[in-house]
Amino acid sequence: MLHVGVLVSGRGSNLQALLDAQATPEFPARVVLVGCNRADAPAIGRAEAADVPVCLADRAAMPRRATRQAVLLQALQAAHVDMVVLAGYDEILDDAFVAAFKGRMVNTHPSLLPAFGATMHAVDEALAHGVKVTGCTVHLVTDDLDNGPIVAQRCVEVRDDDDVESLHARIRDAEHRLLPLVVRAFAENRVRIEGKRARVVAS
Ligand code: GRF
């Protein structure tokens, strides 16, 4: 059983997708800890409803980013997580954090990277650019922001009448399907990382 730590900052719908996946007994991974940097994040309620412990390193209570990350790192290590998932976590992680989970930490990003990377406004920018297809990317986290090896992607069509909300809702739907597949692949040791590239092999 793969033990997963999930970092969140907001709504937590991707966290929910993992919690729903693990409600199926044959799912080979379990979220054992949720780390959060905002006390008002709805994601906290989702973790609590699933009886998953939460480590809160609140931005207001702990204004120094380094302090927050040290607290979260310690909690993840104490929980012996095998893997970390960034699911809507809104901070850049420092080098020590990234190094601690090298090859074992993924992020879900709401665009087809490398397009619209390194921004908190990927969906707005894709829409403003007039792209006809966008999507989501799950990639390994390295110290090169949003540029680590791509593990998996899904396409989402942009409709003429889309606004940011409607487009992001469909991208989220795609993320909710993709993220559990990626976590399962890690649990089944089916992710191969070869330099700048990653791939998922069949079981
Ligand atoms: C997702 O679209 C993710 O790609 C982006 O932020 C959003 C988080 O959504 N980084 P949620 O908190 O999981 O609902």
The answer, yes or no, to whether any atom of ligand 1 lies below 6 A from the CB of 146, is no
| Alpha helices (H) along 10-130 | 13-22, 42-49, 65-78, 95-100, 122-129
The CA distance from 131 to 158, in Å, is 7
pLDDT at residue 62, as a whole number: 96
Give the pair of three-digit tokens for residue 18. 């993992």
DSSP classification of residue 92 = P
CB 83 within 8 A of CB 107: no
**What mean pLDDT is predicted for residues 144-169?**
98
Please, what's the b/e burial string for 10-31 (b: 16 or more CB within 10 A of its CB; e: otherwise)?
Answer: bebbbbbbbbebbeeeebebbb
The answer, yes or no, to whether any atom of ligand 1 lies below 6 A from the CB of 180, is no
pLDDT at residue 148, as a whole number: 98
Instruction: State how many domains the chain has.
Output: 1
Whose Cα sits closest to atom 8 in ligand 1?
Answer: 88
User: Is residue 202 helix, strand or coil?
Assistant: coil
Environment class of 7 (CB within 10 Å of its CB; exposed 0-12, middle 13-18, buried 19+): buried
pLDDT at residue 59, as a whole number: 96
The answer, yes or no, to whether any atom of ligand 1 lies below 6 A from the CB of 5, is no
Please give the distance, rounded to the nearest whole angstrom, from the Cα atom of residue 191 to the centre of ligand 1.
Answer: 23
At residue 203 the predicted structure's pLDDT band, cuts being 50, 70 and 90, is: confident
The answer, yes or no, to whether any atom of ligand 1 lies below 6 A from the CB of 111, is no
Q: For residue 148, what are the domain limits?
A: 2-200
Q: Is the dihedral of CA 21, 27, 30, 36 positive or negative?
A: negative
Tell me, what CATH number does 132's domain have? 3.40.50.170
| From 109, 139, 168, 176, active-site residue | 109
pLDDT at residue 105, as a whole number: 98
**What mean pLDDT is predicted for residues 93-110?**
97
pTM, to two decimals: 0.98
Cα–Cα separations (whole angstroms), residue 49 to 11, 163, 194: 14, 32, 38
